[in-house]
Structure 1
């Protein structure tokens, strides 16, 4: 699972690892099928669309 900030074209997380060098981002999951992206202390530049991408064949993604 990866989280991507669409507007900034930035990969935020891959699996449990935060890729973006922004300490305000974190990721969690419940060992089932739920993955959550957390943004603490939201800034103006955080606005926009985010995509959750699941590495399956075919790939599954959801934008919101």
Structure 2
């Protein structure tokens, strides 16, 4: 998601889990990472498994709040 100078969070919608906030990984899942630069924020997930399939949301804390949801499909293991 593209955001400049705003507080950005990534969440797992299905489990209502906060994964990252403002460039910091909050979850204890060591496969999760976040990268940002030039106003762009990217969620990373290593060693993906079928259990990781689901909806992930990028949330930008502006007024009004901006969100973008992504659906991850995983085929096989």
TM-score range, shorter chain: over 0.9
Question: 1:61 Cα shift?
Answer: 0.3
Which 10-residue stretch deviates more, 40-49 or 54-63? 40-49
Moved over 6 A (4+): none
2:69 matches 1:63:
yes
1:20 and 1:43 map into 2 onto residues whose CA distance is 17
Which of the numbers 25, 37, 41 marks the counterpart of 2:47?
41
Number of equivalent positions: 63
Question: 1:45 Cα shift?
Answer: 1.8
TM-score (norm 1): 0.93
Larger Rg: 2
Question: 1:44 Cα shift?
Answer: 2.0
Gapped regions of structure 2 (runs ≥ 5): 1-7, 71-77
2:54 is paired with a residue of what secondary structure?
coil
2:8 matches 1:8:
no
